[in-house]
Amino acid sequence: MKKAIGLFRRRSPRWTLPSALLLACLPAGAQNFAQPFDKQIQWFAYSGDHAVAGKWGLHFDGGWRQVSSADWTQWLVRPGVNYQWSRRVQLSAAYSYFNTHPAGLAWDERSMPEHRLQEQILIQTPVRKIAVRHRVRVDQRFLGSGFVENTKRTWNLQHRLRYMIRTELPLRKGASERPLVYAGLHDEILLRFGYSGASNFDQNRLYGGIGVRPAKAASIEAGVFHQRFQPMAGGRMENNYVFLLTVSNQLSLSRLLGRE
């Protein structure tokens, strides 16, 4: 019996931190397949960070999101400002406008707007030669109710705390050791407070994708993330898989405007 136990111990796999992270983010009840695939979602986004002068810069991102067969479920724009506190720390503040159409653009009368303020800090903590980035973001969400004829729209304030850890692993480098192709990996957890609905847990996003850098200040990245999402109204936890395509631009503002 002791020999059998010793043999089992010798052959047991060694669990690493990445393995534990992946297991923690798997849908609950995956062992008995009680939680099926819920929605097909596609996100298309543009993100730009442009140095202006000194430590200051501008940020802008926007995009649209499509759920299942809806023509267009949600669109957003988000202008902001960046401040490079140090080589590894960046502070940002932004305003966002979201417009959500639960049944697609054909249902304008049901559109629900959202105004959002956000503050965030980005911290670079490289591990050996691997870049690791931490992002802490705080959202103040002013959530509008759906349109109802002859009824005044109501607004609710919700606070949300978000933490993301991300890394990019080089897959192919150019002559100057600049990564031309890379694997992007991140995990983000979102918690809501105030007007929080049924739970303070909002969602978790576990992502993996492949990116290319056609130029030093530009990248195109495509990937998929698993979204474990708790609706504000409560009910069963959703498990969605989201395709995400992101185009990023980090040219300085003067170069972007053709003044260099």
- Domain containing 185 — which CATH number? 2.40.160
Instruction: Specify if 27 maps to a domain.
Output: no
**CB of 253 within 8 A of CB of 60?**
no
Task: Look at residue 35 and tell me if it is in a domain.
Answer: no
The pLDDT value given to residue 29: 37
pLDDT tens-digit readout, 216-245: 899 999 999 999 998 887 788 889 999 999
**pLDDT, position 21:** 40
Structure tokens at 160: 């949300």
pLDDT at 46: 97
Determine the 3-state secondary structure of 25 from DSSP.
Answer: helix
At residue 197's C-alpha, the angle toward residues 196 and 203, to 5°, is 70
In a domain, 11, yes or no: no
Whether 17 is covered by a domain: the verdict is no
Instruction: Tell me which amino acid residue 211 is.
Output: G
Please report the pLDDT score of residue 141 as a whole number. Answer: 96
167-192 pLDDT per residue, tens: 999 999 877 777 899 999 999 999 99
Q: What is the pLDDT of residue 152?
A: 87
Decide if 131 is inside a domain.
yes
pLDDT at 124: 95
Global pTM reads 0.81
Query: What are 227-232's contacts with CB under 8 Å, separation 24+?
Result: 227/41, 227/203, 228/25, 228/27, 228/203, 228/204, 229/202, 229/203, 230/198, 230/199, 230/201, 230/202, 230/203, 231/197, 231/198, 232/192, 232/196, 232/197, 232/198
In the chain, what is the greatest distance between 2 CA atoms, to the nearest angstrom? 78
DSSP 130: B
Domain-embedded: residue 67: yes
Is 204 contained in some domain?
yes
Residues of the chain with pLDDT under 50: 1-36, 105
Task: Give the per-residue pLDDT at 109.
Answer: 57
Predicted local distance difference test score (pLDDT) of residue 23: 41
State which residues form the domain around 64.
Answer: 40-256
Q: Given the DSSP bridges, would you call strands 218-229 and 201-215 parallel, antiparallel or unpaired?
A: antiparallel
The domain tally of the chain equals 1
Assess if residue 25 is contained within a domain.
no
